[in-house]
């Protein structure tokens, strides 16, 4: 199968997306890959596989690549002296843009609008998962517990210290801080404010256990192994993305009953909302109660390290993508109006 991986974007997580794409280049063995880079100006470039190296993008050398235009059914470019239009050949696109553009609904909307088959959260799922406030409301409506929270506009809260402060519309643990006193709160609030105007705080619960579970529905439920997160306080940016040993993370065996509970809650979140996406749900557990921490609609490197056969997972999902319902426009209403007017 031919996959087209779309990455980059105008986002604080732009560089994380590049790392994810480079990782998948080496992790996907069975399928053919092509790469489309979206730069900070939101221009599309076709990137040769051999150029999938971080310096190629940080140096700006990518601008020498073929520039693309998104259009009905795919991506096209002009070739040769006669500027003949050619289409990029692929079967299914993979939305690998983390944060804004990829996870907020912009790219999913474009892919749907132009009838491009893609592994991606849809617009509605993107909106729900991109905003941590909406995520909590959505989870509660699905019968999944969440940690209590408060939206703040200044460094004041109803919760006692310690607390955790988060930009509400950002992933990769960017701008997230654990706060134990007012001075730390003042500073952490300013840090979070650099990334988002919508900021939430939650009580920081000492000793809470965290588990990650990835999966999708492709005519059957496909689940990854459960990852028990090893952390000091919380899984911050450095632990997630600068600890390159994470690809060999210790995947702890968990009690069967707990694994069943995690899968049950995952299904509640995913069903009828995240079709066509491979997502990862991050859960907390305290006193035998499962809480949803967050939904990762496009997890780093698609959480490939959690699956035994990642190529097979992608192929199954790609072959079972749901199409948007076709609406037939036949102008009956307008024609009836015209007939009633005698025209």
Instruction: For residue range 280-292, list pLDDT tens digits in order.
Output: 999 999 999 999 9
Mean pLDDT of the chain: 92
Alpha helices in 51-207 (DSSP H): 54-58, 106-113, 123-130, 132-141, 182-193
CATH label of the domain that carries residue 83: 3.40.50.20
Report the range out of 247-251, 252-256, 277-281 with the highest average pLDDT: 277-281
Integer Cα distance of 121 and 278 in angstroms: 8
| pLDDT at residue 93, as a whole number | 98
| pLDDT at residue 340, as a whole number | 80
| pLDDT at residue 286, as a whole number | 92
Residue 196 has pLDDT above 50, yes or no: yes
Which long-range contacts (C-beta less than 8 Å, at least 24 apart) are formed by 34-37? Answer: 34/2, 34/3, 34/4, 34/5, 34/88, 34/89, 34/90, 35/4, 35/5, 35/7, 36/4, 36/5, 36/6, 36/7, 36/68, 36/75, 36/88, 36/93, 37/7, 37/8, 37/62, 37/65
The tokens for 277 are 């996406």
The tokens for 121 are 């959260």
Residue 46 has pLDDT above 90, yes or no: yes
What CA–CA distances, in Å, run from 43 to 8, 49, 65, 94, 119?
Answer: 10, 19, 11, 17, 21
Integer Cα distance of 113 and 252 in angstroms: 42
| SS3 label, residue 227 | strand
Closest CA to 313 of 193, 241, 219: 219
- Asked if residue 305 belongs to a domain, the reply is yes
Residue 236 has pLDDT above 70, yes or no: no
Enter the DSSP assignment of 169: T
Please tell me whether residues 43 and 171 are part of one structural domain: no
pLDDT bin (cut points 50, 70, 90) of residue 246 is very low
Q: Is the distance from CB of 269 to CB of 142 less than 8 angstroms? A: yes
Please tell me whether residues 20 and 160 are part of one structural domain: no
The HSE-up count of residue 230 (CA atoms within 13 Å, CB side) is 8
pLDDT bin (cut points 50, 70, 90) of residue 251 is low
The pLDDT > 90 percentage for the chain reads 83
Q: Is the distance from CB of 179 to CB of 191 less than 8 angstroms? A: no
Residue 248 has pLDDT above 50, yes or no: no
| pLDDT at residue 139, as a whole number | 98
Residue 245 has pLDDT above 60, yes or no: no
Domain limits for position 272: 128-146+206-319
| CA 161 to chain CA mean position, Å | 31
The tokens for 196 are 């988002």
CATH label of the domain that carries residue 312: 3.30.470.20
Q: What is the pLDDT of residues 92-134, one digit of tens each?
A: 999 999 999 999 999 999 999 999 999 999 999 999 999 999 9
| pLDDT at residue 337, as a whole number | 86
Please tell me whether residues 6 and 96 are part of one structural domain: yes
Residue 169 has pLDDT above 80, yes or no: yes
pLDDT bin (cut points 50, 70, 90) of residue 335 is confident
Lowest mean pLDDT among 161-170, 227-236, 326-335: 227-236
Relative orientation angle of helices 123-130 and 106-113, to the nearest 10 degrees:
180
Quickly count: other Cβ atoms within 10 Å of residue 153's Cβ.
10
Q: How are beta strands 92-95 and 118-119 bridged, if at all?
A: parallel
Structural domain total, the chain: 3
Please tell me whether residues 199 and 293 are part of one structural domain: no
Residue 235 has pLDDT above 80, yes or no: no
- Asked if residue 25 belongs to a domain, the reply is yes
Closest CA to 278 of 158, 170, 121, 153: 121
| pLDDT at residue 241, as a whole number | 44
Q: Is the pTM above the cut of 0.85? A: yes
The tokens for 24 are 């998948």
Averaged pLDDT, 167-183: 89
Please tell me whether residues 10 and 41 are part of one structural domain: yes
Please tell me whether residues 26 and 95 are part of one structural domain: yes
Averaged pLDDT, 209-232: 92
Averaged pLDDT, 75-82: 87
């Amino acid at each position: 199968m031919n996959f087209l991986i779309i990455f980059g974007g105008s986002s604080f997580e732009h560089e994380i997306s590049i790392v994810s794409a480079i990782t998948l280049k080496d992790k996907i063995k069975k399928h053919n890959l092509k790469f489309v880079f979206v730069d900070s100006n939101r221009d599309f470039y076709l990137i040769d596989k051999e150029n999938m190296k971080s310096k190629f993008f940080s140096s700006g050398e990518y601008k020498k690549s073929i520039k693309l235009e998104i259009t009905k059914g795919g991506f096209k470019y002009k070739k040769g002296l006669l500027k003949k239009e050619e289409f990029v050949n692929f079967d299914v696109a993979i939305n690998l843009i983390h944060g804004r553009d990829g996870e907020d609904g912009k790219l999913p909307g474009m892919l749907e609008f132009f009838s491009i088959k893609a592994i991606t959260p849809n617009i509605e799922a993107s909106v729900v998962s991109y905003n941590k406030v909406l995520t909590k409301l959505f989870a509660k409506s699905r019968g999944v517990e969440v940690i209590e929270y408060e939206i703040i506009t200044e460094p004041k809260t109803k919760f006692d210290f310690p607390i955790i402060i988060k930009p509400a519309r950002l992933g990769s643990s960017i701008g997230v801080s654990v706060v134990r006193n007012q001075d730390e709160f003042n500073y952490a609030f300013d840090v979070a404010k650099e990334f988002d105007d919508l900021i939430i705080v939650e009580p920081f619960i000492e000793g809470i256990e965290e588990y990650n579970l990835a999966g999708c529905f492709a005519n059957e439920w496909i689940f990854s192994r459960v990852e028990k997160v090893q952390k000091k306080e919380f899984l911050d940016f450095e632990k997630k993305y600068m600890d390159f040993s994470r690809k060999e993370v210790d995947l702890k065996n968990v009690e069967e009953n707990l694994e069943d509970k995690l899968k049950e809650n995952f299904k509640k979140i995913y069903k009828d909302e995240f079709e066509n996406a491979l997502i990862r749900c991050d859960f907390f557990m305290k006193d035998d109660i499962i809480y949803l921490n967050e939904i990762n609609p496009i997890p780093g490197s698609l959480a490939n390290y959690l699956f035994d056969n990642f190529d097979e997972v992608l192929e199954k999902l790609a072959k079972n993508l749901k199409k948007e319902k076709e609406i037939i426009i036949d102008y009956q209403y307008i024609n009836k109006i015209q007939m009633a007017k005698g025209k």
